[in-house]
């Protein structure tokens, strides 16, 4: 059976994420959904995005996160040319912290 290359995105995952109410629910959901390695990789990428937003340079980010230069570079490209999700979430975090 040939692989489908243009499979439509399933919205059920994203709808479920939006329905989470607490940090505990969120952690439990992602613990069930992802392997430890997948979670650590996502956490690390988000930490890199936060530090890039703060203006840190690659060597500082590598020291703080342990991320490879390839990961830092990938996140930097996403930060610059991605769908805007990182920037939107970082802006919301800043707004919450200011409140």
Tally of structural domains, the chain: 1
In a domain, 90, yes or no: yes
| 4-13, 22-31, 32-41, 80-89: segment of lowest average pLDDT | 4-13
Q: Is 27 within the bounds of a domain?
A: no
Residue 81 sits in a domain whose CATH number is 1.10.1270.10
Residue 87 above 80 pLDDT?
A: yes
Distance CA 91, CA 18 (A): 18
Rounded to two decimals, the pTM is 0.85
pLDDT digits (tens, 9 = 90+) for 31-43: 999 999 999 999 9
In a domain? residue 8? no
Residue 53's closest CA among 20, 18, 97? 97
Whether 87 is covered by a domain: the verdict is: yes
Q: How confident is the model at residue 99 (pLDDT cuts 50, 70, 90)?
A: confident
Q: Report if residue 5 sits inside a domain.
A: no
């Amino acid at each position: 059976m040939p692989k489908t290359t243009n499979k439509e995105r399933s919205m059920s995952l994203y709808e479920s994420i939006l329905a989470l109410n607490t940090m505990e629910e969120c952690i439990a959901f992602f613990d069930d959904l992802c392997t430890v390695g997948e979670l650590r990789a996502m956490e690390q990428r988000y930490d890199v995005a936060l530090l890039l937003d703060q203006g840190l340079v690659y060597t500082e980010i590598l020291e703080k996160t342990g991320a490879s230069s390839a990961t830092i570079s990938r996140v930097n490209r996403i930060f610059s040319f991605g769908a805007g999700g990182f920037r939107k979430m970082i802006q919301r975090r800043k707004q919450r912290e200011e409140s």
